Amino acid sequence: MAHGHNEHHIMPLKTYLKVAGALFLLTFLTVGAHVLREHFEPFSAVIAFAIASVKAYLVMAFFMHLKYDVPSNRLIFATGFLFLALLFGICMLDIYTRIFQGNVL
């Protein structure tokens, strides 16, 4: 059955709990990656950005109901996500092109 424009998709509580559990798990993974950042040093920013991107997708897809929304709204949010990826890329270029000066105090 196709949904009309005025109908809302009702998601079961079980789905919300699974997504919330995944968000908590990814939050703990973020903290763990921060604690172990010296082991992942060249890739620590990439790992942090990847975890943040997955968390943002889960929130947008399930809590904002974009997974079941009309394609035009998904396109608008995807465009915003592409600009966010561009911003992340520029930040990563800035991080990885800095010259380490040591402790300058």
pLDDT in tens, 79-98: 987 998 899 889 888 887 88
Which amino acid makes up residue 58? L
pLDDT of residue 103: 62
Report how far residue 44's alpha carbon sits from residue 42's, in angstroms, rounded to the nearest whole number. Answer: 6
Residue 44 burial (10 A CB sphere; 0-12, 13-18, 19+): middle
Its pTM surpasses 0.75: no
pLDDT at residue 100 in the model: 66
Tokens of 9: 């998709």
Helix axes 44-58, 13-35, angle to 10 degrees: 170
Residue with tokens 């990885």: 96
DSSP assignment, residue 62?
I
